[in-house]
């Protein structure tokens, strides 16, 4: 719908292409690359340390390193709203010693650097979780063989462990890139003009929907390009090893040798969770009298309503799609499921625009009003997060149910009976995990909700954004804390399930 709607022309488009289009492109690429770099640094290093070393507190860090997932990028940005002020003396020195232009260049570089650092400090768990699971699944036999041949620990990591874990790490990087491309709250807060920033500015600021749609198409090309690169990277490699029967043997370290793993694990936890969390708590305490004024419990109820309905609906739809694909083995169903799950790779702002255009056509054709309703918001959420639930549920059907479904067919059991009596009990834990994943993402989602929320309907995410947009950073800590607590419990549960499954 977005692509089909860009045929019309707007006079603002020439101005955009001449002035800001290159800036949007360069800023988006720079931010994605910077976030990926720091995410790899935090995620891979901490995953390797936790997976391979026994040091004081390593079991605690296994949990703590996941906690930044509970903090959305925009809340992390608000927590560090005054971080650039720390560099003011340095910038003044640059201006006096070198010149004004050098100071501007330095300031711009610092903005990009700090934005990438802040975003990666809460996005690195995507890489950490997948890398840690990959490291632990390799077992010790490859490492023991390499060491018996005289290779050092560093050589073993770079030549054996890391190449074997490349598919998992690339998958995590892809998720981080998608989150960075779709972010609006953090980039607007730090003033980094990416494509998502440009879409909102063009549409809501200039009132030019046509030009905003064109920017949305370019942003879609970026996301599809990332997916294509990931596919090419994974297609060019072949991995033929099986999961090891022997568990990963950890190296015990203590004394001064434990300082390095402690530092590696502490840095992302402190900057990604501890500082934002405790700053929000202290700010919330100072503004506690503001709780009644912003109706935070009503905001929490609205957020819970959206997250629960979307989670249940998405899981039910994923079960239907996944079971149909595995039970009937139809290429048409398989292909349509793959297309349906592309929504997660599409930024929320683009999905919101496409949904609005779609309901506009439906309203004109069938004379029904869908725009500005909760139904439209739920629909867009399901499109956005279907892949989050579908991927684990499909994997659960494939691992646990395929052979048993074939047996049920030979015994004359109906598809619905096979689903209810056989498949659902076997993948019950997977269904719960998939629902919680959707719940966490739906609770944190901002751009899509900003565009499609009904009139006078606010969630915790939109209230946090609106307050910070009005320079009420301290007051925005109250809904921010509610978001963190609502997502923290599912994340802790999911991390415990990962340990039990392993």
Residue 337 to residue 247: CA distance in whole angstroms: 36
pLDDT single digits (tens) 173-231: 888 988 898 889 899 989 899 999 999 888 888 888 888 888 888 888 888 888 788 77
Q: Is 54 helix (H, G, I), strand (E, B) or coil?
A: strand
Residue % of the chain over a pLDDT of 70 = 92
Which residue from 351, 345, 333, 323 is spatially nearest to 447, judged by alpha carbons?
Answer: 351
Indicate the DSSP class of residue 419: I
* Residue of 318, 383, 319 lying closest to 347 (CA atoms): 383
The answer to whether the CB of 131 falls within 8 A of the CB of 43 is yes
Q: What is the structure's pLDDT at 502?
A: 46
Indicate the pTM of the whole model: 0.85
Kindly state the tokens that stand for 246: 């022997």
Tokens of 44: 């891979």
Q: How far apart are CA 277 and CA 273, in angstroms?
A: 6
CA 308 – CA 252 distance, rounded (Å): 44
Residue with the two structure tokens 């994974």? 234
Write down the residue that tokens 């779609």 correspond to.
358
All domains in the chain, ordered by first residue: 1-236+245-286 (1.10.3720.10), 288-502 (1.10.3720.10)
| 8 Å CB contact between 221 and 48 | no
Is 101 in a helix, a strand, or coil? Answer: helix
**Could you report the per-residue pLDDT of 7-51, keeping only the tens digit for each?**
777 778 888 888 888 999 999 999 999 999 999 999 999 988 888
Picking from 438, 326, 451, the residue whose alpha carbon sits closest to that of residue 382 is 438
251 SS3 class: strand
Query: What torsion, rounded to 10 degrees, do the Cα atoms 322, 436, 225, 453 define?
Result: 110
What percent of the chain lies above the pLDDT cut of 90? Answer: 28
């Amino acid at each position: 719908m977005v692509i089909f709607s860009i045929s019309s022309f707007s006079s603002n488009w020439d101005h955009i292409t001449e002035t800001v289009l290159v800036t949007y492109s360069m800023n988006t690429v720079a931010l994605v690359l910077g976030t990926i770099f720091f995410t790899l640094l935090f995620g891979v290093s901490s995953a390797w340390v936790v997976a391979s070393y026994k040091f004081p507190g390593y079991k605690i860090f296994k949990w703590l390193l996941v906690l930044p997932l509970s903090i959305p990028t925009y809340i992390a940005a608000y927590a560090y709203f005054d971080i650039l002020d720390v560099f003011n003396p340095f910038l003044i020195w640059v201006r006096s010693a070198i010149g004004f232009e050098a100071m501007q260049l330095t300031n711009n570089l610092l903005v990009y650097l700090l934005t990438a650092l802040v975003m990666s400090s809460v996005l690195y768990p995507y890489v950490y979780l997948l890398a840690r699971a990959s490291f632990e699944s390799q077992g010790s036999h490859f490492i023991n063989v390499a060491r018996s041949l005289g290779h050092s620990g560093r050589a073993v990591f770079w030549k054996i462990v890391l190449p074997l874990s490349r598919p998992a790490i690339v998958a995590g990087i892809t998720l981080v890139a998608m989150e960075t491309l779709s972010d609006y709250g953090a980039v607007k807060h730090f003033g980094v003009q990416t494509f998502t920033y440009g879409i909102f500015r063009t549409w809501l600021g200039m009132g030019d929907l046509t030009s905003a749609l064109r920017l949305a198409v370019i942003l879609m090309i970026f996301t599809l390009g990332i997916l294509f690169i990931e596919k090419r990277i994974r297609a060019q490699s072949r991995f033929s090893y099986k999961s090891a029967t022997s568990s990963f043997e950890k190296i015990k370290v203590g004394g001064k040798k434990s300082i390095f793993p402690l530092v590696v694990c502490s840095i992302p936890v402190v900057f990604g969770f501890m500082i934002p969390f405790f700053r929000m708590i202290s700010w919330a305490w100072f503004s506690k009298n503001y709780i009644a004024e912003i109706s935070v419990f009503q905001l929490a109820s609205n957020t819970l309503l959206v997250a629960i309905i979307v989670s249940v609906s998405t899981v039910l739809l994923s079960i239907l799609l996944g079971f149909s694909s595995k039970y009937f083995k139809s290429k048409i169903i398989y292909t349509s499921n793959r297309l349906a799950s592309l929504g997660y790779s599409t930024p929320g702002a683009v999905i919101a625009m496409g949904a609005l255009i779609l309901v506009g056509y439906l309203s004109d054709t069938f004379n029904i009003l869908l725009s500005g309703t909760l139904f439209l918001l739920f629909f867009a959420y399901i499109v956005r997060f279907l892949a989050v639930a579908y991927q684990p549920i499909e994997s659960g059907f494939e691992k646990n149910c395929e052979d048993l479904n074939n047996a049920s067919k030979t015994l004359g059991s109906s598809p619905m009976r096979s689903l209810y009596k056989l498949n659902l009990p076997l993948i019950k834990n997977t269904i719960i995990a998939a629902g919680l994943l959707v719940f966490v993402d739906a609770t944190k989602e901002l751009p899509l909700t900003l565009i499609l929320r009904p009139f006078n309907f606010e969630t915790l995410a939109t209230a946090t954004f609106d307050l910070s947009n009005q320079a009420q950073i301290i007051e925005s800590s109250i809904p921010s804390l509610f978001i963190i607590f609502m997502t923290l419990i599912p994340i802790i549960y999911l991390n415990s399930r990962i340990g039990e499954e392993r």
